[in-house]
Structure 1
Amino acid sequence: MSDMFKVEIITRNSTDLEAFKMKMAEIGVSGMTFSHVQGCGLEEGYTELYRGVKKVQNVFDRLKIEIVVSSVPVDDIIKAASSVLHTGKAGDGKIFVYPVQQTIDINTGKQGPAAL
């Protein structure tokens, strides 16, 4: 069985998804999952006045992209994602890579890389 990896990207909510999907298609990525999430990190927050009380807002809307691959090199995904998502400002996001032990297609029953 060949190695499978999950690439998880947390980035700005304002990301151009069409440009990202086209870049992934160029390197052979055929499926992705997108989720809208919230989080905080090194990016500075801002102070807002709510009903006369100052409140520091440091939780931001983010986009979470999940990709599981076996035949596309993870380094290619990292390079392609970085080229599209990099702005040079705090909050560009992070990329995490995890090994995937098993994948099962519920519809067909295929397992491993064939299930992708």
Structure 2
Amino acid sequence: MAEWHFYASGPDKANEKKLWTTGTDAEKKLITDKIQTALAWQQQTGIPTWVGAWMPGNYNKGNTYSVEEQTVFAGFMTKALSDAGIPFAVNADTKYYNAEENT
């Protein structure tokens, strides 16, 4: 199984590679383009893929996102990954992805 990392240190209000302010179409496209890259790679290689280590705020840089902003980002990220059928990390030591059971 391959693990993809994008938004591993959260979104950023200034970094064009992981820009997220209000969830504009362009900002959403940054996410969906990354998801499409992962899906294309998975289809080409036949290796299952998942996305790990993403977070809804930029906690490593002082967390400049409000709870509401984080909720909007996380809601979109969760829906986009779920719609694509890509599992993703839950940041808790009691949850994990089981590749054999696809759960």
- Please classify the TM superposition score into its range, dividing by the shorter chain length: under 0.3
Task: Compare the two structures and name the one with the higher helix fraction.
Answer: 2
Q: For CA contacts below 8 A with separation 6 or more, give which structure has more relative contact order.
A: 1
TM-score w.r.t. length of structure 2: 0.27
Task: Compare the two structures and name the one with the higher strand fraction.
Answer: 1
TM-score w.r.t. length of structure 1: 0.26
